[in-house]
Amino acid sequence: MDEAQLIKGIQQGDRKSFQILVETYQRMVVNTCLGIVHNKADAEDLAQDVFLEIFRTAENFRGDSKISTWLYRIATNRSLNFVRNNKRKRFFQSIEDTFTGGRNRNSEISENRGDQPDRNITDQQRSDLLHRAIDRLPEKQRAAFTLNKYEELSYQQIAEIMEISLASVESLIHRAKKNLQEQLLDCYKKKCV
């Protein structure tokens, strides 16, 4: 079944076509979300939201671009929104912590660590360090870097997804790498891992 038939099927509400679409692209969508949110459970929830949006708005798809471009675009936007909302929640949480003595936050952190008991501390620290460095990147740099690194997309594909010029993508990824390198160098000098 080619892309056009798949989309036509989904537009008509055909569940079989939708299942084929999900099974073909689920790894790609989850990976994209994971690159931005850094949590498997959140990434899978976001990926489900992406597919639900696809199913409910399929009639709006004009077929100008590939399905993958459409999916990447929705996945990136939803993940960035999720991170933005989380930051806002964390801000209010920090205010709450000042009154409750930070009990809630500490329990949340220990729950997250409990997800991966078999990973050693250094691996976890290294992973946290990289995630923190990626999180500090400006949104556009983060999106471009994630699509390039996690999905190994070409600059041309990223330009289509983000609807910007090729030169802008080159500049965004260059700056993202420079920023990451600066943050990692800072940590290397302070010996945080």
Query: Which chain residues interact with other proteins by CB under 8 A?
Result: 15, 18-19, 22-23, 26-27, 30-31, 34-35, 40, 44, 47-48, 51-52, 55, 123, 126-127, 129-130, 149-150, 177-178, 180-181, 184-185, 188, 193
> Is 71:54 a contact under the CB 8 Å cutoff?
yes
Q: How far is the CB of 57 from other proteins (least distance, A)?
A: 13
59 or 163: CB nearest other proteins: 59
Q: How far is the CB of 72 from other proteins (least distance, A)?
A: 15
Q: How far is the CB of 102 from other proteins (least distance, A)?
A: 28
- C-beta pairs of 163-172 under 8 Å, 24+ apart in sequence: 163/73, 169/144, 172/140, 172/141, 172/144, 172/145
**Alpha-carbon distance 89 to 96, whole Å?**
10
106 or 124: CB nearest other proteins: 124
Q: How far is the CB of 30 from other proteins (least distance, A)?
A: 5
Print burial letters for 63-74: b (CB count within 10 Å at least 16), e (below 16): eeeebbebbbbb
Q: Is 56 left (phi over 0), alpha (psi -120 to 50) or beta?
A: alpha
Q: How far is the CB of 119 from other proteins (least distance, A)?
A: 10
> Is 47:75 a contact under the CB 8 Å cutoff?
yes
48 or 65: CB nearest other proteins: 48
Reading the block at residue 1, the tokens are 């079944």
22 or 164: CB nearest other proteins: 22
> Is 142:114 a contact under the CB 8 Å cutoff?
no
103 or 113: CB nearest other proteins: 113
